[in-house]
Structures are given as structure tokens and as C-alpha cells.
């Protein structure tokens, strides 16, 4: 006889009814309606020949989005952090020196993960709102002789885009792998992985690609693959082991884990839409909408945190004016207007708002709607006696 069912945790709920928010924060961003329709399709088997064909399409289109010929280009099952961890887990051997160029929150995460794989982690730090010069990186690489230099291209915590000129050559000269975080740039900000001589990169599904969160695009070039293949022991993370995953994504199609098939339906559609628009058009769209936002915010008397030449088109950091409760304003936007804007992270907590214009959301009407709210609603959050903002 089975015991009676314990109903202590049983709840009678209505069907899910989440609101339609406009997500203009650091991510996730709204997914494209075509992507959402793809997600709702009936799953097919993860070894079905049609699914196998779709896997190839996703790989090919990811190569296009990243401008790489890397064979080992796959969407990791998991969010961007899973793909981030995969780049490090597969290539670090205990004691390897990993140099992490930290100029924001996600650089710190890279350093944390590298340490967990028993790397000798060395960090090179910059204030949150600056980028590294080639000379600074050159000096650090020459001093520490790392096996891997890890750096964030688009730092979501600061809104800074790292200039890439010369970094790949520097790494080749010192026999070091170049690892690049492209979570907030893929599909939205110019990226040329092969021309930049990047050996390892990762991204996410929920920003420039207009998908919900759940997949972490991952790519590994031949130099990184050689290091992985030469390692002494097994990759110390079973789920993210690219030597095993490659047997499923390569021609053998050996089962590793059940692929999140519907997420890959969505990814396939998102990448198809990106290819249809064309990478250069998508990059130009992000740039022009970001410029519209920057000009509008500055006309309102607000100060942008990132210097213009380093500003990311996908993520804008705006300094919270003196005396304004930044959190109260973002809560007001969310509760009264259904718009999400992010707060600051780490060293910038309480100091900036973070406005994302990514993928499907990078549109002039979204910019204008938000600027209008900054103009009409922010004055009520300013301390009494503050001069009124200049009209847009
Ligand atoms: C630059 C950067 N790296 C890594 C991550 C981690 O990605 P996820 O949150 O999808 O795991 C994020 C998330 O926003 C990010 O902005």
C-alpha cells in the first residue's frame, strides 16, 4: 500500500499570466515574436535527422554571426555563464597562468571561474568605465607569460566596449590563447573573431540574438582545441566537456545530454532573422538607435558614464543625478509603465542606470518612449529646487 499523498505543498494556481514588459535593461531583452513562435513548436527528438539538420544550421549561422570558421562552434545548453565556464574548463590545466583583464563585473566572474579550475589567476585591473590600451595588455602579458588572456569585449556592468586592435597578434607572439566574452556584443556590435585572432569566445541567447535566456553560444579555434586535446587529465566538468559534446555535435551524433530542442528552434530562427537582416545592417541599426538614445539623454541634461569613443551601442550607463533615488525611479518605470531599466552592478551600484537596446528591442520607437518617460517622469524624483530638464 502506498502512503497517502502529502498535499502540504499543493497549490491551485491560475494559468500563468506574466505581463508584456518592455525589457530595456541589461538583459534579458524581449525575444522576437518569430522566435517565440518557434519555441512553442512541438519538440522533435534530439537525434531526429531533422533536428540534426537544424543543429548544422545553427552552427553555420553562429559562425556567420561571429565571423569565424571555427568548426567547434556550438550553443551550450545553459546561459552565457555556462558557455563562459566551458571556455575555461576545457582549456585550463591546474597551475596554468590565466591573465584576466578586469574592467567590470564580468571580468571578476572570469577570474573566479578560472580559479575554481585551479589556474594561477593574475588580474590586471582598470577603473569601471575605462578600457585597456594595447600597451597595458602587452606589459602584463610580457610580465606574467599567461597561457590564456581573458577579456570582456562588451562589459555589461559599465557600458564599455574594449578596442581589439593588436590584442590577437600580441597573444600569438607570446604563445597565449585569447579568450573573449561577447555576451553583450554578438549580433549587435561588430565582431570579427578570426580577423582578431580570438581563440575562445562565448555569448548568450537573450541579448543581441533576440531569444529568451537558455543557450550559451560557444566557439573554440584550432589553437585552443590543440591545448584541450593535449591536456593530461579529463576536462574537470562533465556537462561542459567539449571532447564529449563534440561527439554529439560532430558527425558521430553520440548522445551526451538531451538537447533543449525548443531553445535551439528559437536560436535557429533568431540566427535566421539576423542573417536575413545582414550583420552589417544589424550593427548599424544598434549604433543608430544608441546614438538616438545618447543624444536624447544628453539633451535632458543627463550624464553618460562611458566616454563616447568606448560606448557600447547595446548598453548605455547613465549617471543617476545627485539626490535622485535611482531604484525608486526604475521601480516606477516598471510598475507604472511596464518598462524595465537596470541599476548599477558592483562598483557602479546606486551610481548608474543601465539601459539596454539589444536585438529586437533596438528600435527608434523604444528609444523615444523611454526618453519621453525620462523627460516627463524623472523630474518628480529630483530633489525640490533642481532646475527643470531641457525639453527634448
Ligand atoms: C558580459 C557578460 N558576461 C557574462 C554574462 C553571463 O551570462 P548569463 O547571465 O546569461 O549566464 C553576462 C550576463 O549578463 C554578461 O553581461
Task: Give the model's confidence band at 391: pLDDT under 50 very low, under 70 low, under 90 confident, else very high.
Answer: very low
Average pLDDT over residues 32-51: 97
Task: Give the model's confidence band at 251: pLDDT under 50 very low, under 70 low, under 90 confident, else very high.
Answer: confident
Ligand 1: centre distance to CA 204 (Å): 7
341 pLDDT more than 60: yes
Ligand 1 probe mutation, 31, 86, 106, 152, most atoms within 8 A of CB: 106
Cell of residue 27, nine digits: 538583459
Ligand 1 closest atom vs CA 205: 10
Cell of residue 13, nine digits: 494556481
Average pLDDT over residues 13-24: 97
Which helix (H) or strand (E) covers residue 269, if one does? helix 261-277
Instruction: Characterize 59-80 residue by residue with b for buried, 16 or more Cβ atoms within 10 angstroms of its Cβ, and e for exposed.
Output: bebbbebbebebbbbbbbbbbb
CA distance 228 to 235: 8
34 pLDDT more than 60: yes
Closest CA to 260 of 214, 219, 208: 214
CA distance 3 to 302: 64
Cis bond before residue 28 (omega within 30° of 0): yes
Task: Give the model's confidence band at 389: pLDDT under 50 very low, under 70 low, under 90 confident, else very high.
Answer: low
Average pLDDT over residues 104-113: 98
390 pLDDT more than 60: no
Ligand 1 closest atom vs CA 154: 1
CA distance 100 to 97: 10
Ligand 1: centre distance to CA 105 (Å): 10
Output the residue whose Cα is nearest ligand 1's atom 8: 80
Ligand 1 probe mutation, 81, 158, 344, most atoms within 8 A of CB: 81
Closest CA to 151 of 243, 170, 226, 344: 170
Q: What is the pLDDT of residue 317?
A: 98
Q: What is the pLDDT of residue 330?
A: 98
CA distance 271 to 198: 21
Ligand 1 closest atom vs CA 213: 10
Q: What is the pLDDT of residue 276?
A: 98
DSSP assignment letter at 29: P
Task: Give the model's confidence band at 385: pLDDT under 50 very low, under 70 low, under 90 confident, else very high.
Answer: confident
- Sketch the domain layout of the chain as residue ranges: 33-275, 278-381
CA distance 16 to 328: 27
278-381 is classed CATH 3.40.50.300: no
Q: What is the pLDDT of residues 46-103, one digit of tens each?
A: 999 999 999 999 999 999 999 999 999 999 999 999 999 999 999 999 999 999 999 9
Dump the DSSP string for 31-84. Answer: PPHHHHHHHTSPP--TTSHHHHHHHHHHHHHHHHHHT---SEEEEEES-HHHHH
Ligand 1 closest atom vs CA 78: 11
**Do 33-275 and 278-381 share a fold?**
no
Ligand 1: centre distance to CA 65 (Å): 18
Q: At what angle do helices 364-377 and 326-337 cross, to 10 degrees?
A: 120
387 pLDDT more than 70: no
Q: What is the pLDDT of residues 184-230, one digit of tens each?
A: 999 999 999 999 999 999 999 999 999 999 999 999 999 999 999 99
Ligand 1: centre distance to CA 271 (Å): 19
Ligand 1 probe mutation, 76, 107, 184, 359, most atoms within 8 A of CB: 184
Ligand 1: centre distance to CA 108 (Å): 12
Task: Give the model's confidence band at 377: pLDDT under 50 very low, under 70 low, under 90 confident, else very high.
Answer: very high
392 pLDDT more than 70: no
Query: What is the CATH code of the structural domain delimited by 33-275?
Result: 3.40.640.10
- Ligand 1, residues at Cβ distance < 6 Å: 26-27, 79-81, 84, 106, 152, 156, 181, 183-184, 204, 213
Amino acid at each position: 500500500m502506498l502512503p497517502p499523498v502529502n498535499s502540504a505543498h499543493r497549490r491551485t494556481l491560475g494559468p500563468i499570466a506574466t505581463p508584456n514588459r518592455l525589457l530595456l535593461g541589461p538583459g534579458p531583452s524581449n525575444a522576437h515574436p518569430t522566435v517565440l513562435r518557434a519555441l512553442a513548436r512541438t519538440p522533435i527528438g534530439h537525434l531526429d535527422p531533422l533536428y540534426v539538420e537544424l543543429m548544422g544550421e545553427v552552427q553555420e549561422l553562429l559562425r556567420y554571426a561571429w565571423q569565424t570558421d571555427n568548426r567547434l562552434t556550438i550553443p551550450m545548453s545553459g546561459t552565457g555563464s555556462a558557455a563562459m565556464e566551458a571556455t575555461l574548463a576545457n582549456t585550463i590545466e591546474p597551475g596554468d597562468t590565466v591573465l584576466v583583464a578586469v574592467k567590470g563585473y564580468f571580468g571578476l566572474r572570469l577570474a573566479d571561474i578560472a580559479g575554481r579550475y585551479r589556474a594561477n589567476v593574475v588580474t590586471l585591473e582598470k577603473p569601471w568605465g575605462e578600457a585597456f590600451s594595447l600597451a597595458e595588455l602587452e606589459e602584463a602579458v610580457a610580465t606574467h607569460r599567461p597561457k590564456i588572456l581573458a577579456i570582456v569585449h562588451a562589459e555589461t556592468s559599465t557600458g564599455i566596449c574594449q578596442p581589439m586592435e593588436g590584442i590577437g597578434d600580441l597573444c600569438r607572439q607570446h604563445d597565449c590563447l585569447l579568450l573573449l566574452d561577447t555576451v553583450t556584443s554578438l549580433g549587435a556590435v561588430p565582431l570579427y573573431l578570426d580577423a582578431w585572432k580570438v581563440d575562445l569566445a562565448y555569448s548568450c541567447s537573450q541579448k543581441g540574438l533576440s531569444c529568451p535566456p537558455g543557450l550559451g553560444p560557444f566557439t573554440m579555434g584550432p589553437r585552443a582545441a590543440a591545448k584541450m586535446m593535449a591536456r593530461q587529465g579529463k576536462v574537470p566538468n562533465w556537462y561542459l566537456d567539449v571532447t564529449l559534446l563534440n561527439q554529439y555535435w560532430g558527425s558521430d551524433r553520440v548522445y551526451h545530454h538531451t538537447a533543449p530542442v525548443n531553445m535551439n528552434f528559437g536560436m535557429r530562427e533568431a540566427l535566421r532573422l539576423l542573417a536575413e537582416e545582414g550583420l552589417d545592417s544589424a550593427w548599424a541599426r544598434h549604433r543608430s538607435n544608441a546614438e538616438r538614445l545618447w543624444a536624447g539623454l544628453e539633451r535632458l541634461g543627463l550624464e553618460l558614464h562611458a566616454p563616447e569613443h568606448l560606448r557600447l551601442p547595446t548598453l548605455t550607463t547613465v549617471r543617476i543625478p545627485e539626490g535622485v533615488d535611482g531604484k525608486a525611479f526604475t521601480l516606477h518605470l516598471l510598475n507604472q509603465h511596464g518598462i524595465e531599466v537596470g541599476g548599477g552592478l558592483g562598483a557602479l551600484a546606486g551610481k548608474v542606470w543601465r539601459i539596454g537596446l539589444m536585438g529586437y528591442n533596438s528600435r527608434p520607437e523604444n528609444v523615444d518612449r523611454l526618453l519621453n518617460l525620462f523627460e516627463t517622469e524623472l523630474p518628480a524624483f529630483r530633489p525640490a529646487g533642481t532646475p527643470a530638464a531641457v525639453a527634448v
